[in-house]
Amino acid sequence: MNVQDDWTRWANTWQQQPAVDIDRLRHRVNRKLWRMRLTATLELLLNAVAVWQTWRLIAHPGFEWRWKLWAAFAMLLVLVVQALFLLARRGTWRAPGSDAGDLLQLTARRAVAGVRLAKVNAWSLLLLVVVTLLVAVPELTPAHWQHDAKFRSLVLLQCALNLPVVVFGFMGCAWYIRRQRRRLREVQALLRECED
């Protein structure tokens, strides 16, 4: 059997594969498009709420200057982190070309950027925790909360709410870094396959 016969035979077999149900696919694509729009809107709303709450803390006359300073620092930190995110994402928006190699290179760059972003996240979280504890030191002395049951409950509530967030935040960053590094190794293996 000659080479052309092999290809023709394989092509005949190959093209007998069943085709996808297009109506079902179209519904899935529409649903995903709506989910993407909803997620983007939700992220925007959450950011707006966070900025509004921080601003309220700064502007409220009932809070001590230390907490106003903390709120200003938190807002500044968010801006700095966002700027670092943009910096780390340089060159990761679009592939230089449109073949598989270019796309894999882009995936590799995104994985490297992902590692950087996770590190920025972890360090900024650590910084925020340290600054928050420093600012909160006067309130955390036993003399301050021992005889005030209401304040003690508030401190406990804050610890119960924020401690898991901080712990899961660090764990999440560590998991994401490992995942991106593994992804990078896989992309590099595929790039070698492409070059073969």
Q: Output the CA torsion sign for 85, 90, 91, 93.
A: positive
- Of 18-26, 43-51, 58-66, 161-169, which segment contacts other proteins by CB under 8 A? 18-26
Q: Is residue 183 at the binding interface for other proteins, with CB under 8 A as the rule?
A: yes
Q: Distance between CA atoms of 145 and 148, rounded to whole angstroms?
A: 5
AA identity, residue 172:
G
Q: Is residue 5 at the binding interface for other proteins, with CB under 8 A as the rule?
A: no
Q: Which is nearer to other proteins, 100 or 167 (CB)?
A: 100
Q: Is residue 96 at the binding interface for other proteins, with CB under 8 A as the rule?
A: no
Choose, by CB under 8 A, the member of 81, 118, 128, 187 that binds other proteins: 187
Q: Is residue 11 at the binding interface for other proteins, with CB under 8 A as the rule?
A: yes
Task: Please tell me the chain's helix, strand, coil percentages from 3-state DSSP, rounded to the nearest 5.
Answer: 85, 0, 15
Helix and strand numbers, DSSP H then E, in the chain: 6, 0
Per CB under 8 A, contacts with other proteins among 97-136 are 97-104, 107
Q: Taking a C-beta distance cutoff of 8 angstroms, is the pair 184, 118 a contact?
A: no
Total chain residues near other proteins (CB under 8 A):
38
Q: Is residue 18 at the binding interface for other proteins, with CB under 8 A as the rule?
A: yes
Q: Which is nearer to other proteins, 71 or 111 (CB)?
A: 111
Environment class of 167 (CB within 10 Å of its CB; exposed 0-12, middle 13-18, buried 19+): exposed
Q: Which residues contact 121 (CB under 8 A, 6 or more apart)?
A: 81, 169, 173
- Site residues (vs other proteins, CB under 8 A): 3, 6-7, 10-11, 13-20, 22, 25-26, 28-29, 32-33, 97-104, 107, 183, 186-187, 189-190, 193-196
